[in-house]
Amino acid sequence: MFKILDIYCSVFDILGVCDFGYIPRSVGTLSELLGIIQSATSWDVTWFELMRLGERSINMARFFNYREGFSSKDDTLPEVFFHNFKGGPLDAQGAIDKEDFQKALRLRYEMMGWDVNTGIPTETKLIELGLDWLVSEVK
């Protein structure tokens, strides 16, 4: 679900669409939004194509960050998230287990088609998304 919503939100960012207007259970339907996009742009576009666009954007951003020196070590949360709350109704609860977080991160990498150890988009994923011009830079 996270992967799909991540790609979905990326589409909104690309199009400049307000996230609050078209989140699940919102004021408009996806069909209505698609109609608006088609009318405003004269594109005969589908949700499949838009989601593919969002996925391309995420992978290009991932690759850009890799090229600029970011690595899987940067895919973490602030240390405070790994400690239990102090006081209040959740006293001594609420910490995220670091090992579970790392497993979830590796699962995300795998689901996105990225190398599970480095988080870098694989050659296969880049080719699948039509980003084969980036393949030589990954090597």
In tens, the pLDDT along 23-32 reads: 666 677 888 8
Name the architecture of domain 2-138. Answer: Orthogonal Bundle (1.10)
Calculate the alpha carbon distances from 115 to 46, 111, 122, 125, 126 in Å.
29, 10, 6, 10, 12
Quick one: pLDDT band at residue 18, thresholds 50, 70, 90? confident
DSSP letter assigned to residue 121: B
More confident of the two residues 111 and 25: 111
pLDDT in tens, 42-97: 999 999 999 999 999 999 999 999 999 999 999 999 999 999 999 999 899 999 99
In this prediction the pTM is 0.86
Continuous segment of H or E residues that includes residue 50: helix 47-67
Q: Would you call 120 exposed, middle or buried from its count of C-beta atoms within 10 A (0-12, 13-18, 19+)?
A: buried
